[in-house]
Amino acid sequence: MPPAEDFSEAAKIAHRAFIDMSTSKNAYFNRLAAVDAIYEAGGAPSLAENLELEKLLAIHDRNVLAFKTAIDAVTDDMEKQALFQLMS
């Protein structure tokens, strides 16, 4: 499998979009776990905490769409398969 820097520009963009998507997913789920811990302790998250959670989810939604768009732009099937292997 070639290293990411050897991919076409479209595949590099898709790889970067995958990293961004993974990062935003982790940020959202980490914040969600923190809010869940508040509930489990008998409390309720603040308005600011709920707004932050909504913001993180919106960022992740945009990153998912960007990844889908970027991966669809990779037209070489072998390169796309190599990219999926790199991402797994």
pLDDT at residue 2, rounded to an integer: 67
Q: Where are the domains of the chain?
A: 8-87
Q: What is the pTM of this model?
A: 0.88
pLDDT at residue 5, rounded to an integer: 76
pLDDT at residue 76, rounded to an integer: 95
pLDDT at residue 81, rounded to an integer: 95
pLDDT at residue 48, rounded to an integer: 94
The tokens for 53 are 């959670």
pLDDT averaged over 10-residue windows placed end to end, the chain, 88 residues: 82 97 98 93 92 97 98 96 93
What torsion do the CA atoms of 75, 2, 81, 73 make, to the nearest 10 degrees? -30
